[in-house]
Amino acid sequence: MPLTDVLAADAVISALKAQTKKQALLELSEYASIVSGLSAHEINESLTQRERLGSTGIGNGIAIPHGKLAKATHLFGIFARLDKPIDFESLDGEPVDLIFLLIAPEKAGADHLKALSRVARILRDPAIAQKLRGTHDQAALFALLTQLPTPHAA
């Protein structure tokens, strides 16, 4: 699944200013509301409920908060590069500076899992993560996230 299926060019934030995990989720929910037309409160509530199960901070400065909403008609994401790393209660205890929010319809099933897997694979690539951290340009961030992997020659 290419990330262009879930991430639009205008859904990339190049320097999110947030001091806490709660503030980051709230601001991302507001942004997701603008992009999707869904309620920011409902998005934030879904993300908060998921975080209660365990942090979506997966390590190496990366978090993938996600949730499902009955009113969502399609899977979509918001990417944010934080201005300064924040505590996200990550598995490795390290602060987070790259966040990919993912919202899915309640009945998304396998598509939701495929999208989560794809996002994790991309963000865990050390070369891509380093490039994401090194740019403040929204278009460049979008290009890095949505580039198709090059096949390896045999």
Domain ranges across the chain: 3-146
B/e letters for 49-79, b = 16+ CB within 10 Å, e = fewer, are ebbeeebbbbebbbbbbbbbbeebeebbbbb
Task: Tell me the pLDDT tens digit for each residue of 7-65.
Answer: 999 999 999 999 999 999 999 999 999 999 999 999 999 999 999 999 999 999 999 99
Tell me which CATH code domain 3-146 carries: 3.40.930.10
Catalytic residue among 66, 112, 136, 152: 66
* pTM beyond 0.85, yes or no: yes
Q: What gap in Å lies between CA 145 and CA 40, rounded to an integer? A: 24
Q: Is 41 a catalytic residue?
A: no
